[in-house]
Structure 1
Amino acid sequence: MRTALAALSVAGLIGLLAASGCINGVSVDSSPQDSAASAPPARAHKVAVQNIKPAIPVAGDVLIAGGADASNQSIAAAEFFDPSSGQFLPTGTAASSRAAAAAEALSPTQVLLAGGFSGTATIKNFSLDLEGSVLAGAETFDETTGAFSPVAEMTTPRMGFTATELNNGKVLVAGGLDNRDNVLDTAELYDPVARKFVAVAGAMSDRRMFDTATLLLSGKVLITGGAINLSGDTTNSADLYDPASNSFTPAIFPMDHQRAAHTATLFTTGPMAGKVLITGGVGGSSFFFKDSSAELYDPASQEFTLLPSFMNEPRSMHTATLLDDGDVLIAGGFSGTVAVTGGMLSGASGLISNSAETFDPNTGDFTCVGGFNNDTLRCNQSMTIARAAHTATLLATGPTPHRVLIAGGIGAADPAAHGVELNSAELFNPAGGGSFTATAAMSAAHALHTATLLH
C-alpha cells in the first residue's frame, strides 16, 4: 500500500517532521553515537554464542522493540537493557517491522506487540508519503527464549493506538489509524489464553489516535483526548471502559483543554491516590498549538480540574513516569506548533526539549530538574540530549532501583537542530534533586518504539 497523507497524526507529524529536518532552519550535526565500552552482561543472561542465538533477558530488564531507525524506516529489531551492567543486548527479531505500535506485558513471561506502521516515511512538498502499510498483525515475545511468535491478527489494522492490560489479564486495544486513513473509534480485546482478538461491540464517543489510556484503581480504563482526523483536529472528550460490561461510557465532563500526544499518570498512593495527572500535548483545529497546562481527573466525580500550576515549558510527545517517592518525572518532548492549511501541512516551528521537571502531588507544583533559566524562560538543560517520541521506564531491579531509563526518540545535541532518530539512552536518578547520566548506546536507533519492563 502507498498512501500520501496531507496531514499526519499529532505524534507522527511532529516526530517525522523533526526526523526529516523540517522543524527549524538550522542544520546541525546531531548524531548521538555513544561510545561507551562494551561490558559483559551480568546475572543469568544467556548470551549469543558466535551470534547464533539471541541474548535472553531476565525479569527486571527492559525490552526495546521496533520503531523507526535513522533512515525513517520501521524496524523489527529488538534489544533489552540490563540494569546490572548498564548495557543493551540484542535479542530476537520480530516477524514484522513496526513503528507507532503498542506493547503490553503479559503474565508471566510474555509481551504482546501489536499493530503499527511498517515501511518508510518521507515529507515532500508539505505532504507526508508513507510507503508501506498499517498492520493488523500481532506477536508475542517470550523472555525465556528471546523469540517472537505470531498470534491471531487484530480485527482492524491500527497505528498510534493504546493497549492496556486489564485486571482480568486481557488487553484492551483502542483507537488508532487504520490502513485507509481513518481514525478509529473502535476497540478490541486480546485474550492471552486464546491468543486472539475479539472486537468490542460498542464504540468510543470520539475517534482517537495518539490519545492516552489509563487503568484506574477501580479496574476501569480512562481514555482521553487524541487527534480525531488527519486535518489537524483534536478533542477534549474522554471515555470510560468498563470490563464488567465490556462497553464504553462517555465521561460526564470533558477535559479543560483539547489534547493529543499528551501524557496521563495514575497516582496509586498519597494525597492524590486514584486520580490521574494529564500533562501537555498539542491541541486545536487545523493548528496544533503547544500546551504547558496540566489537569487532574477525579474518578469519583468524573471531573477534570485544570491545575493552577503549569509546567515550566510546553511539551508534547514527552514522557511522564510515576517515581517511587510519589512524584512524577516529566521528560523531554517537543515544544512547538504545527499548522495545517487547506488540508496541507503549512508550517512547523519549535524546539525539542533537553530538560525535565517533576510534579509534586503534595504541593501541586512543577519543579525544573537543574533549575529554571530566567533568560530562556525554560528549564535548564538537564538531560544528556534533547529528545521526543522516546520512552521512559521505571527500573525495579539491579544496582539502579528507583531510577528511570530514558531511551531513543527523535532529537539532537542542540534543541534547535534538526532531529534524528537516536540510539542513545540515559538514566534519571531522583536523588539530590535529580540528575541524568548517559548509558551505553543501543545497538540501533529507535523512535516511536515500545519499551516494556519484563516481569
Structure 2
Amino acid sequence: MFKTMRLSVVWAGVALGVVGGCGDAEAPEAGVARSFDGRALSASRWSTSASMGSARGLHTATLLDSGLVLVAGGTTGAGTSGLTRSAELYNPYSDTWSGTGSLNVPHQNFAGVRLDSGKVLVAGGQDGSGAPSSSIAELYDPASGVWSLTGALVVPRSFFTLTRLDSGKVLASGGMTPAGGLSTSAELYDPATGTWSLVGSLSTSRFSHTATQLYSGEVLVLGGLGTVTNTVELFSPATNTWRQVRPMPVTRAGHTATRLFSGYVMVAGGFDPGTRGNPVLSSVDVYDPYNDRWFSVPPMNRPRRDHTAVLLYSGALLVTGGTNGTTLETSTEVYDPQSNRWFTIDHMPAPRTGHTATLLDTGAVQLIGSTGEGVSPPSSMRFTP
C-alpha cells in the first residue's frame, strides 16, 4: 500500500512536467521552484517514537525496500571510544526496534547507500584503528540480516559522499585520507563485480561536502571544508569526467543541498568558512542546472548548520534541527516552493544536530540519533505531515 502511494506521487509530478526530466528538459519559470502542493503543513506534528537499543551518532540510516530503516554503526559516546559495530532495524508501522547482524568492523563518519538489488553498501569512515580513514566496505543483505565484506575503496576516506547513479554503480567523492590530508579523488563501485575503480578527479579537494544527483544523471558536488572555495563541480557518468560550473554566491559548509521536484537544487544554511568568525547562515541559494545559474530565495527563519533537509511527497522541503552557533535547535521549518516562503512549524520534542532524517514510505520523516553536545538519548522522533 505504501509503495503504491509513493509511486502515485511520482506520477503526479510527471504529469506536471517536474519529475523525471533530463539535462535538456524544459526549464521551470525563472526564479520559481515549483511544486504541485504548496501547503504549509500547519496541521503537522512531532511525536516521540520508540527508543533504539543504544544511543548513537555519526551513523547511517537507510530506508530498505521493505519500508524498514536500517541504522548502522556510529558511536555511542565521545570520540572513537564508543565506536560500535551494532546495527538495528526500525519498523515504522509498529514503532518498534529490533537487532540485526553486526558490521564486520566499526565505522563512524562513513557513508551508506541502498543498491538497486536492495542491499545496502557502507564504506570508509573511521574504524577505531587509529587511522584517520578506512578503506573497508561492507554489504548488508536484508534477506539474511548479515553483513559481508566487499571490495575495499582504492583510497581510504572519511567525511565523503556516496551517490547511487542511474547505472546502479555508486560514486564516492572527496573526503579525508589516511595521512590526514584531503582528497580530490573519486571512484566508482560496481555491484556486479564488487570492486572500486578511480574515476577522474575533483579540481578542488574537499570533505564534509554535499553531492546531489540531477535529473540528467549528473552529480553536483559543492561546499565543504578543506580548500575554502565556492567552486561547484559536476560529474558526468556518461564520460566519467568532472567539470566546473557556475560557482556558489558564498562559501558554505555544514549546509544541505536538496533536489526539488523542479530539478533545481536548494542549498540552505551552513556556515561560511571564508568569512572571519565562520558565521552561521540563514541564507538559501538555488542552482538552476538548465541554465547554469544561481538565484536566491527568501532566507530561513533561523540560521542553522549541521541540520537536515528532506523533500516531502508534497514537494515542500522540511528542515530540522542543527545549531545556530551557540545553541542546538528544536525549531523546524518548511519551505513551500509554490509560494516561495518559509513557514516555522511545531518544535521538535528535543534538540538535534548531526542527526539523520529518513523519509518513510508513509510520508512521515523519522529523526534518529544525534551528535554535537554528546550523543542523544536513544529515542527517535517522527514528523507526520
Same fold (TM over 0.5): yes
For the structure 1 residues 170 and 260, does the alpha-carbon distance in structure 2 shift closer, same or farther, using more than 3 Å as the test?
same
Letter aligned with residue 185 of structure 1: T
Change beyond 3 A, Cα 1:37–1:333: closer
Is it true that 1:389 corresponds to 2:354 in the alignment? yes
Alpha-carbon shift at residue 304 of structure 1 (Å):
1.7
Give the structure 1 partner of residue 278 of structure 2. 288
Structure 2 residue aligned with 1:186: 185
Quote the RMSD (CA, aligned, Å): 1.9
Aligned to 2:214: 216
Amino acid at match of 2:240: N
Change (3 A) 1:37 1:404: closer
**Is the 8 Å Cα contact of residues 319 and 334 (structure 2) preserved in structure 1?**
yes
- Residue identity matched to 1:175: G
Residue among 322, 340, 344 paired with 2:311: 322
Deviations 1:313-371 (A, max 9, x none): 111111100001100000001211xxxxxxxxxxxxx111111100111121111113x
Once the two structures are superposed, the pairs formed by residues 272-421 of structure 1 within 5 Å of their partners are: 273-285=262-274, 287-307=277-297, 309-336=298-325, 350-370=326-346, 382-396=347-361, 401-410=362-371, 418-421=373-376
**Which residue number corresponds to residue 93 of structure 2?**
84
Picking from 103, 117, 122, the partner of 1:108 is 117
For each residue in 1:191-244, what CA deviation from the matched residue of structure 2 results, as whole angstroms up to 9, or x when unmatched?
0000010001x2112111111111100111111111025xxxx32211000000
Kept in 2: contact 1:318–1:333 (CA 8 A): yes
CA contact (8 A) 2:115 2:168 kept: yes
Q: Deviations over 1:146-174 (max 9, x none)?
A: 10010111011111101000000000000
Determine if contact 2:77/2:374 at 8 Å carries over to the other structure.
no
- Superposition TM-score, scaled by structure 2 size: 0.81
CA offset at residue 132 of structure 1?
A: 4.5
Displacement of 1:104 in angstroms is 0.6
CA contact (8 A) 1:68 1:421 kept: no
In 2, Cα distance between equivalents of 1:152 and 1:296: 37
Aligned to 2:230: 236
CA change 1:180–1:132 in 2 (3 A) is closer
TM-score, normalised via structure 1 length: 0.68
Percent of residue pairs bearing the same amino acid type: 36
Q: 1:68 aligns with which of 60, 75, 97?
A: 75
Q: Output the amino acid matched with 1:330.
A: V
Matches within 5 A, 1:425-436: 425-430=380-385
User: Partner amino acid for 1:136?
Assistant: S
Q: Which one-letter code corresponds to 1:218 in the other structure?
A: S
| Alpha-carbon distance in structure 2 between the residues aligned to 1:216 and 1:325 | 19
2:32 is matched with which residue?
none
Match status 1:97 vs 2:106 = yes
- Number of paired residues? 324
1:263 aligns with 256
Residue ranges of structure 1 left out of the alignment (5+ in a row):
1-33, 39-56, 121-130, 337-349, 371-381, 412-417, 431-455
Alpha carbons 1:58, 1:144 under 8 Å: kept: no
Deviation at 1:424, TM superposition (A): 2.0
1:165 aligns with 2:164: yes
Separation in structure 2 between the aligned mates of residue 227 and residue 184 of structure 1, nearest angstrom: 11
> Structure 1 residues 419, 137: CA separation in 2 closer, same or farther (over 3 Å shift)?
closer
